[in-house]
Amino acid sequence: MTLPNELELSSGLVVRYEYDPGEEQYFDARAGVGSPGYPPEFYVTEIKVGDEWKPAEDCAHLDVAAIEAEAAQKLIDWQSAENAQADEAKYQAWQEMKELDL
């Protein structure tokens, strides 16, 4: 699944962001490797003000924390819809395979 580069918010603002989905903690004793894991990370890097892009740090007149929260929620909603669509396609394929076996 490819994430969109920009998100349009309900306020009409368009933002660019950085997103890292994080990693689960794991350890493989056979290979002797693992990861301590880390949480997901999301932050807005640029905000389109008028016709130009400005770094989020230069937009002190805007509530950047609220903008990040809305953008993060919009990304979560988008990913949920994409995952639901993929799951539905897998289920339909399974149903078709099941019908062929009968």
pLDDT over 80 (residue 2)? no
pLDDT over 80 (residue 55)? yes
Report field, pTM of the whole predicted structure over 0.85: no
Is position 63 within any domain? Answer: yes
Higher pLDDT, 102 or 47: 47
Is position 67 within any domain? Answer: yes
Is position 20 within any domain? Answer: yes
| pLDDT digits 0-9 by tens, 64-88 | 999 999 999 998 888 889 889 989 9
Is position 74 within any domain? Answer: yes
Residue 12: domain span: 6-101
Is position 97 within any domain? Answer: yes
Question: How many separate domains does the chain show?
Answer: 1
Categorise residue 31: left if φ over 0, alpha if ψ from -120 to 50, beta otherwise: alpha
